[in-house]
């Protein structure tokens, strides 16, 4: 098949590379325009653009994929299929209906669960133990098309969103090739989604990472894993003898059996500095911070941090 590939972030790169080594022909790669990155704000190419350049593929970077001129460009390419993997723009009906085999989307959840922009993070935040990838026929309604195929995987207890994303990206690449083979050979089955099972995974904002110490230990642990590495979990504290509020990015935590024991301390209070890390009181016990990053500085383990900073038992995290 002649295929147009649409994708932008690192998650889409394994699918692009798998497609490039398959029997299908990539006639164009569509990705988001270069965006300012880092403190320098210099426009940088997306991971998909970098991979497409390496593969010697034609690249398109429309500001608006649905502009008439862009739609005409796609029509001139006459693709048999358009593959969409985390592209980042909604497609209009003229584009969805343009290819012979419509537009196929690879989504990082077990649809109909977790439709939306951040399914990997929300699966962890909500305490799911199983997730996966799904290929669907695209429709005007977000992630609501007929399911073609799915692959499942457990979510490991200590796994964060970045680690899970890497595994799902590889699974998505395998699913994509399998899906295109089913379509091309006429062996694809199309299953309507059960609307009763629909849940949503909206885009995460920076404020989603603020740690609510007054919640249960497991929920806090899940939140930290789910927002790591982006947008990041964080808390604040005021060192003794100062009113200056310090921001801490929390990278890793552990749950111990002792966290099930009730503590008389207010949630957010540092219980102790233990060999494993910083024990912080929660609603139903404590959570151990094992790795963190002071704002503007490098990541470090909790013991290293406490040796160089005035964090002691009874310190309150905000």
Architecture of the 206-308 domain = Roll (3.10)
Q: What is the dihedral of CA 143, 144, 145, 150, to 10 degrees?
A: 60
Cβ atoms within 10 Å, residue 63: 9
Q: At what angle do helices 47-55 and 13-20 cross, to 10 degrees?
A: 20
Handedness of CA 46, 35, 105, 118 (dihedral sign): positive
pLDDT for res 259: 45
pLDDT for res 260: 46
Alpha carbon distance 292, 280 (integer Å): 13
Please identify every stretch of the chain with a pLDDT value under 70, giving residue numbers as ranges.
239-243, 257-264
Find all residues with CB under 8 Å of 173, minimum gap 6, and list them.
Answer: 14, 15, 17, 18, 19
Architecture of the 2-197 domain = 3-Layer(aba) Sandwich (3.40)
Tell me the domain boundaries of the chain: 2-197, 206-308
Residue with tokens 């969805």: 96
Residue with tokens 């209070």: 269
Contact between 3 and 181 under an 8 Å Cβ cutoff? The reply is no
pLDDT for res 41: 81
Quickly list H helices, the chain.
Answer: 13-20, 47-55, 68-77, 93-96, 119-125, 161-184, 217-226, 302-308
SS3 18: helix
Looking at the chain, how many residues does it have?
A: 318
β-sheet with 130-137: strand ranges across: 59-60, 25-30, 2-7, 81-85, 103-107, 130-137, 147-154
Q: Which of 254, 318, 252 is nearest to 285 (CA)?
A: 254
Alpha carbon distance 133, 171 (integer Å): 7
Q: How many CA atoms, within 13 angstroms, populate the side-chain half-sphere of residue 230?
A: 6
């Amino acid at each position: 098949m002649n295929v147009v590939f649409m994708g932008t972030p690192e998650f889409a790169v394994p699918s692009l590379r798998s497609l490039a080594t398959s029997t299908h022909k990539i006639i164009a790669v569509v990705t988001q325009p270069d965006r300012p990155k880092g403190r320098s704000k210099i426009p940088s190419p997306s991971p998909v653009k970098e991979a497409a350049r390496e593969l010697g593929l034609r690249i398109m970077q429309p500001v608006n994929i649905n502009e008439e001129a862009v739609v005409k460009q796609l029509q001139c390419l006459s693709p048999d299929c358009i593959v969409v993997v985390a592209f980042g723009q909604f497609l209009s009906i003229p584009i969805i209906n343009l290819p012979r085999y419509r537009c196929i989307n690879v989504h990082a959840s077990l649809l109909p669960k977790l439709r939306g922009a951040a399914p990997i993070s929300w699966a962890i935040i909500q305490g799911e133990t199983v997730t996966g990838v799904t290929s669907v026929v695209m429709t005007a309604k977000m992630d609501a098309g007929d399911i073609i195929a799915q692959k499942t995987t457990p979510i490991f207890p200590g796994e964060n969103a970045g680690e899970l994303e890497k595994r799902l990206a590889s699974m998505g690449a395998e699913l994509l090739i399998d899906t295109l083979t089913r379509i091309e050979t006429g062996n694809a089955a199309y299953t309507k989604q059960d609307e009763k099972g629909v849940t949503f995974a909206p885009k995460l904002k920076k404020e989603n990472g603020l740690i609510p110490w007054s919640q249960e230990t497991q929920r806090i642990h899940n939140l930290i894993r789910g927002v790591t590495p982006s947008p990041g979990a964080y808390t604040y504290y005021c060192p003794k003898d100062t009113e200056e509020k310090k921001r801490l990015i929390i990278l890793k935590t552990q749950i111990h059996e002792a966290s099930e024991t009730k503590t008389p301390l207010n949630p957010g209070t540092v219980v102790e500095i233990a060999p494993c890390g910083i024990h912080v009181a929660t609603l139903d016990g404590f959570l151990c911070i094992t790795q963190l990053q002071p704002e503007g500085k490098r990541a470090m383990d909790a013991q290293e941090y406490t040796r160089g900073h005035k964090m002691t038992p009874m310190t309150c995290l905000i």
